[in-house]
Copies of this chain bind each other. A is one copy, B any other.
């Protein structure tokens, strides 16, 4: 008899009919003898609707109250799913963030789970109950409601799986699993049966929206086997576990892309030691995540150009911080939103020579200009013109035998 955490995303609980369907999935799971904890998102559309209401009141809506507002969405789903399970004659109960409690640390709208009290829920599971827990939220040490960022229900699921020592954590969603590329853009993209945490982490950081990166990280740290699968079909999903359990036959597992990035170039910066630190320190202090950085070789001995990428939503804040920065001198700041980041990911890359070369060659063959490059052990990302996104993904998908 095992213990399973099942997480159901917004589309999986988007209507009462779907909630009944989810209740049947849980019933089936419990009837095989497993103890079940279900984590639920808000019904699809609900969170956006609540955000819209808050913005009608203020674009800078108070963050404490935003957390109170948004956390209501998962509360609704918890109650409906518990009611649906009870209708199926199961013992079930919703447990709200403060009833458990789920303790968090950090600022409003961006907290992180630090502990979850397990005694009461474990007792309930022992008595044959199904526990329903709202994703995306917790309470702070001051007993304020806190949320843990969009997509945070995945993070709740892996945190619950870790703290309750669950055997597996299944992420039920509206796709069949993790694909070698976006199946909506690349019809030949294939579902991946098995993938390592590292690869999944790179893929999800890079725009594959199947799972939230910090949730994958938690699963990796505590070696919790994940499975991403569809709520709407019986098909086997994608299993995510540690690298040593996977036989790699291919160097590249998937091709991801993201259109979240902007490229910012500071032209005519003084070329002297400490200038990069002076540029990036205030950005880091303002929680702006700088992704790729390129410093061009300067033809002029005293001046250089520095290019880096940030999330598009951070562009105006970034430019303002640069303008306010009295420690740096430069001629001009330009930025380009019309870029895309294309990444190839694969745990096999490290042991396969020539992957980097083959990627650059392939893009060059398609006359696609590379604007920036960033590499890691298991991933290789490039920034290109947004218009070339599809052409690049298709080409890379083909040359790395993913079709």
Residues of A with Cβ closer than 8 Å to B? 16-17, 19-20, 50, 53-54, 56-58, 60-62, 64-66, 68-69, 71-72, 75-76, 78-80, 82-84, 86-87, 93-94, 96, 98-99, 143, 145
In the complex, residue of chain B having the shortest beta-carbon distance to the beta carbon of A17: B56
Instruction: Identify 20 residue pairs between A and B in the complex whose beta-carbon atoms are under 8 Å apart, listed by A's number.
Output: A16-B56, A50-B76, A53-B76, A54-B79, A57-B87, A58-B83, A60-B87, A62-B83, A62-B86, A62-B87, A65-B79, A65-B83, A65-B86, A66-B79, A68-B78, A68-B79, A69-B76, A69-B83, A72-B76, A98-B98
In the complex, residue of chain B having the shortest beta-carbon distance to the beta carbon of A61: B83
In the complex, residue of chain B having the shortest beta-carbon distance to the beta carbon of A132: B65
| Residue in A80, A84, A96 with the greatest tally of chain B CB atoms within 10 Å | A80
Contact A57 B72 (CB under 8 A): no
**Set of chain B residues within 8 Å of A143, measured between Cβ atoms:** 99
Contact B80 A53 (CB under 8 A): yes
CA–CA, A100 and B35, complex, Å: 34
Main secondary structure of the interface of A (DSSP, over half): helix
CA–CA, A61 and B92, complex, Å: 13
CA–CA, A78 and B71, complex, Å: 12
Contact B69 A57 (CB under 8 A): no
CA–CA, A19 and B56, complex, Å: 10
CA–CA, A16 and B77, complex, Å: 23
CB A118 to nearest CB in B, in angstroms, measures 17
Contact B16 A53 (CB under 8 A): yes
Q: Contacts A84-B58, A94-B65 given: A75-B78 contact, CB under 8 Å?
A: no
Contact B83 A57 (CB under 8 A): yes
CA–CA, A64 and B328, complex, Å: 61
Beyond known contacts A54-B80, A57-B84: 19 more, CB 8 A cutoff: A16-B53, A16-B57, A53-B76, A57-B83, A61-B83, A61-B87, A64-B93, A65-B80, A65-B83, A65-B94, A66-B79, A66-B83, A68-B94, A69-B76, A69-B79, A72-B72, A72-B75, A75-B75, A96-B145
CA–CA, A143 and B143, complex, Å: 15
3 tightest A-B contacts by CB? Answer: A69-B79, A16-B56, A68-B79
**Set of chain B residues within 8 Å of A86, measured between Cβ atoms:** 58, 62, 65
**Set of chain B residues within 8 Å of A66, measured between Cβ atoms:** 79, 83
CB A321 to nearest CB in B, in angstroms, measures 25
In the complex, residue of chain B having the shortest beta-carbon distance to the beta carbon of A43: B53
Contact A54 B83 (CB under 8 A): yes
**Set of chain B residues within 8 Å of A64, measured between Cβ atoms:** 93
CA–CA, A86 and B79, complex, Å: 30
**Set of chain B residues within 8 Å of A96, measured between Cβ atoms:** 68, 145
**Set of chain B residues within 8 Å of A78, measured between Cβ atoms:** 68
